[in-house]
Structure 1
Amino acid sequence: MTWKLRRASVADLHHIMEIERSVFVTDAWSEPTMRAELESDNTVYVVATALGAPDVVQGYAGLMVPPGATEADVQTIAVAPDVRRMGLGRALMHALLREARSAGVRDVFLEVRADNTGAQALYDDLGFVGIGVRPGYYQPDDVDAIVMKLELTRPATAVGAS
């Protein structure tokens, strides 16, 4: 399957929240929280739409990268259940990493649920390494978070840049 990746906007909020609630059943972000993320000057959000269907959001990802920062944090990433295991999560992560490189970031951090072995495998494959554990980070499920870090080395072009 092929997707078009573009910067997210508040106009995408409804679609993002549908995916958010279906993927993160017990710990989904609230709509006001997600709206604040999309509106923040310190974050970059990307959505993936089905090729030829620009209103059909099938995944999203966000990166906190304040202007001038050398570190960035993957805030969230989610793929609609019906298009999982097709490479969209990887494409979204590559888009975030391009954004980080474009902003001059040297290190990217993320947290991943200790029970999400699929996501851990993707992050390992992208070069992230585990650097710590946050016990009981994901609530109300009381699941640990594995903290991971990637050191960036190569420049790249940001989403939407020519």
Structure 2
Amino acid sequence: MSPLAARPEDAAAIAALEDAFPTGRWSEHAWSEEIGSPRACVLIEPGATGPAGVIAFSVAGDTADLNRVIVAPDARRAGVARRLVLAGLTWAAEAGASQVMLEVEADNAAARALYDHVGFVALATRANYYGPGRDALVMALPLGGAA
């Protein structure tokens, strides 16, 4: 299935995907604002009973930020995140971005493998970004280099 643009009425179902995160969850209100922002792109991949996954990008100038990726636990390891990332990279390029930046938890091996595969490169580490002992890698991808 291909990712689709999220609609305001999707905010509650998207927020429900946040249950997979113990901390740092976005609220339904935050998702509603993101969906309505002219500087943002929120894509969902539909699943059998709701979104199988969601991704949020924003753009400022020539840089887009990949802000959030969530895949429902029962949809993981099925290519959902990769399809969402690639669709979002297309949006970012069409929005005029020449690069995409993101932060990912250094210990998140699955996410790091995806970003490495797509072509993101680690630039720096932000110590304790996600809390004590939970570092973030800052990664970048010049557009035109996605796999």
Q: Tell me if both proteins adopt one fold, taking TM over 0.5 as the criterion.
A: yes
Give the alignment partner of residue 16 of structure 2, picking from 12, 15, 18.
18
- Matching residue of 1:65: 59
Q: 1:105 to 1:87 in 2, by over 3 A?
A: same
Does residue 95 of structure 2 align to residue 95 of structure 1?
Answer: no
Alignment of 1:1-40 (within 5 A): 3-21=1-19, 23-40=20-37
Counterpart residue type for residue 146 of structure 1: L
Counterpart residue type for residue 143 of structure 1: R
Give the ranges of 4+ consecutive aligned residues of structure 1 lying more than 4 Å apart after TM superposition.
Answer: none
- Matching residue of 1:145: 136
Does residue 103 of structure 2 align to residue 111 of structure 1?
Answer: yes
- Matching residue of 1:123: 115
Q: How many pairs does the alignment contain?
A: 146
Specify the SS of the correspondent of 2:127: strand
Kept after mapping to 1: 8 A contact 2:105/2:137: yes
Kept after mapping to 1: 8 A contact 2:125/2:136: yes
- Name structure 2 gaps, 5 residues minimum: none
Which structure carries more relative contact order (alpha carbon 8 Å, separation 6+)?
1
Alignment of 1:35-54 (within 5 A): 35-50=32-47
How far residue 63 of structure 1 moved from its aligned partner, in angstroms, is 0.5
Separation in structure 2 between the aligned mates of residue 89 and residue 13 of structure 1, nearest angstrom: 18
Counterpart residue type for residue 9 of structure 1: R
Instruction: Please tell me the root mean square deviation across aligned C-alpha atoms, in Å.
Output: 1.7
* TM-score, normalising length: structure 2: 0.92
More strand, by proportion = 1
Greater shift in the superposed pair: 55-64 or 85-94: 55-64
Specify the SS of the correspondent of 1:131: strand
- Matching residue of 1:132: 124
Q: 1:56 to 1:32 in 2, by over 3 A?
A: closer
- Name structure 1 gaps, 5 residues minimum: 155-162
How far residue 28 of structure 1 moved from its aligned partner, in angstroms, is 1.1
Separation in structure 1 between the aligned mates of residue 65 and residue 84 of structure 2, nearest angstrom: 14
Separation in structure 1 between the aligned mates of residue 144 and residue 45 of structure 2, nearest angstrom: 25
Deviations along 1:8-34, whole A, 9 cap, x unmatched?
12210111011112x212221222222
